[in-house]
Homo-oligomer: A and B are copies of this chain.
Amino acid sequence: MKTYLDCIPCFFKQALEASRIAGADEKIQRRVLEAVAETLPKFPMEASPPQMGRIIYNLVRKHTDTDDPYLQIKEQSNRLALSIYDRAMNDLARSQDRLLSAVELAIAGNIIDYGVNNALDIGVELEKILSAERNKTGDENRTFFNIDSFKISLSEANTVLYLGDNAGETVFDRILIEEIKRMDGTKTITYAVKEKPIINDALKKDAVDCGIDTIAEIVSSGSDAPGTIPALCSDEFMERFYKADIVISKGQGNFEGLSDSDRTVFFLLIAKCPVIAADIGCRVGNIVLLHHLPE
């Protein structure tokens, strides 16, 4: 997805928020905002928003002299998500359509952002999202919830590449991966994380802390962009990307980087921003499972 002009105010908002999370004082916060303003004329709008995200967070790191401002937040998100793992698995055991429920949980897990502060909140948020999903009537939303083609493609796949998004959310990815393995233990699943700290995106350590290492091979995208941008990923990762029978991509950042991809991708995300919702043709807050086919 290209960068829309509406993304520009949001870049400044993100820069301010990240500066504050990195502990910057007002003077440094303003310096970061000015540095973002300076890069603006040079930024090509054909590039996808996570490319600017990468620039912004590198500016924050540089001006605040912190390597991983979101470290504590990520660790807290992992702990919180793990604390509701058992309950989620119990719910799943009672489901009439376990794969659908696991998919919905994995997408709903995308709500775990640094705004969510405790297990109760996560429980409430998940319940809200999932009941809104279940209450959907008719085929109204089916254009962006392609569960049937997902089930078919998954059943035919031997190798699965799963692109992770945020720390914490990783626990819900694990639930879906476990369900996929339960249905067919012969599938080989690879879970991709970011190479270096970027916002609250999951790194290898987060995936291990959330128990992904017991069910999937963890690999790095080779990039520190907050999304999968092919030109910034390692050759090794891109080889896996093209060779996998199915690619499951979580979250907005990966969608923004891959929405024009020349291969089939299933995008699982909650549409959190109006620009992305408009691009997909859904509403902010919708649960999305988009079957992307190359043009």
Contacts and interface: CB of A to CB of B under 8 A. Distances in A.
Contacts of A33: 5, 8, 40
Given A37-B37, A37-B40, A40-B37, A5 B9 contact: no
Contact of A13 (B9, B26, B30, B38): B9
Contacts of A85: none
A45 interface: yes
A38 B37 CA distance: 7
A37 B41 contact: yes
Interface of A: 5-6, 8-10, 12-13, 16, 26, 29-30, 33-34, 37-38, 40-41, 45
Contact of A30 (B5, B9, B38): B5
A157 B51 CA distance: 60
Nearest to A40: B37
What is the interface of chain A mostly: helix, strand, loop, or mixed? helix
Nearest to A13: B9
14 contacts: A5-B26, A5-B29, A8-B12, A8-B16, A8-B33, A9-B10, A9-B12, A9-B13, A9-B16, A30-B45, A33-B40, A34-B40, A37-B37, A37-B38
Given A5-B16, A6-B16, A8-B16, 6 more contacts: A5-B29, A5-B30, A9-B10, A34-B40, A37-B38, A37-B41
Contacts of A45: 30
Contacts of A10: 9
Contacts of A37: 37-38, 40-41
B41 A34 contact: yes
Contacts of A16: 5-6, 8-9
Contacts of A9: 9-10, 12-13, 16
A75 B18 CA distance: 42
A30 to B, nearest CB: 6
Contacts of A26: 5
Nearest to A10: B9
A38 B41 CA distance: 10
- Central interface residue in A6, A8, A33, by most chain B CB within 10 Å: A8
A38 B34 CA distance: 9
A5 B33 CA distance: 9
A12 B37 CA distance: 10
A179 B18 CA distance: 50
Nearest to A37: B37
A189 to B, nearest CB: 39
Contacts of A12: 8-9, 12
